[in-house]
């Protein structure tokens, strides 16, 4: 029953988010890692809808197959899929990636799940607080927020930067994220925009 409720809640919140403005950050508690946007979401509405649907469908497949044996977060951007969280073994890690790749909309998969017991709610709360602190640091020290279109996702104290930006601003964002106390690693998955004029 708990698995069905978790799945329904995850899919329901993702579905509701389709009607939100592109500049509103999407934060889902449960099966999806906490994320917060820096700047606006540059994707067309159709792409946002497709990405959100893709993420929900992958999450549903993983929950159906693994139930409570795995805790996998799915984040998507322009068809790219980021998988984080915990799985019981190497076979499960390979399987969740296979499930993510089974959708035609998937263009690339970043599989960063680890073999470990599912994280605790306290760990997940700490991750969400780290995301907030990283976002605050970027807005304070990152320069032109309108030129940065990055989602900050934190899982197991690892900060993932997913989105679009110029190479210079993406590098700066990664440096700022790494400087936040409690962050153990930064993974930059930012698609490049045109370089800033010199």
Here the CATH number for the domain that contains residue 150 is 3.30.1340
Residue 184's domain comprises 121-192
- On whether both 76 and 140 belong to a single domain, the answer is no
Last residue of a domain, one of 65, 92, 115: 115
For the chain, how many structural domains are there in total? 2
Last residue of a domain, one of 60, 83, 115: 115
- On whether both 70 and 52 belong to a single domain, the answer is yes
48-100 pLDDT, tens per residue? Answer: 999 999 999 999 999 999 999 999 999 999 999 999 999 999 999 999 999 99
> Burial of 90 by CB count in 10 Å (0-12 exposed, 13-18 middle, 19+ buried)?
exposed
pLDDT at 6 over 70: no
Across residues 19-28, what is the average pLDDT?
Answer: 34
- On whether both 135 and 111 belong to a single domain, the answer is no
pLDDT at 192 over 90: no
Local confidence band at 167 (pLDDT 50, 70, 90 cut-offs) = confident
Last residue of a domain, one of 82, 115, 148: 115
Cα–Cα distance measured from residue 173 to residue 192, given in angstroms and rounded to the nearest whole number: 13
Mean pLDDT over the full length of the chain = 82
Instruction: Flag whether 198 is in a domain.
Output: no
Of the candidates 73, 70, 15, the one whose C-alpha atom is nearest the C-alpha of residue 48 is: 15
Local confidence band at 145 (pLDDT 50, 70, 90 cut-offs) = low
Instruction: Flag whether 55 is in a domain.
Output: yes
CA 118, 122, 126, 129 torsion: positive or negative? positive
- On whether both 110 and 65 belong to a single domain, the answer is yes
Cα–Cα distance measured from residue 28 to residue 172, given in angstroms and rounded to the nearest whole number: 27
The answer to whether residues 118 and 6 touch, using CB atoms and an 8 Å cutoff, is no
- On whether both 12 and 92 belong to a single domain, the answer is yes
91-127 pLDDT, tens per residue? Answer: 999 999 999 999 999 999 999 999 999 999 999 999 9
Give the rounded percent of residues in the chain with a pLDDT score beyond 90. 63
Domain at 91, CATH number: 1.10.287
Q: Model's pTM, two decimal places?
A: 0.79
């Amino acid at each position: 029953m708990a698995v069905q409720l978790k799945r329904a809640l995850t899919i329901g919140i993702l579905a509701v988010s389709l009607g939100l403005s592109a500049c509103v950050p999407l934060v889902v508690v449960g099966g999806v890692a906490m994320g917060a946007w820096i700047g606006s979401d540059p994707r067309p509405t159709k792409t946002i809808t497709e990405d959100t649907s893709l993420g929900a469908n992958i999450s549903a497949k993983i929950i159906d197959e693994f139930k409570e044996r795995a805790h996998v977060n799915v984040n998507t951007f322009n068809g790219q899929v980021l998988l984080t969280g915990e799985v019981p073994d190497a076979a499960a890690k390979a399987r969740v990636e296979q499930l993510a790749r089974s959708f035609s909309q998937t263009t690339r998969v970043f599989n960063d799940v680890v073999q470990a017991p599912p994280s605790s709610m306290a760990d997940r709360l700490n991750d969400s607080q780290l995301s907030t602190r990283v976002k605050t640091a970027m807005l304070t020290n990152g320069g032109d927020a309108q030129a940065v279109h990055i989602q900050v996702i934190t899982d197991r104290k690892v900060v993932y930067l997913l989105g679009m930006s110029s190479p210079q601003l993406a590098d700066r964002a990664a440096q700022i994220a790494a400087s936040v106390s409690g962050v153990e690693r930064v993974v930059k998955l930012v698609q490049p925009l045109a370089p800033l004029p010199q």
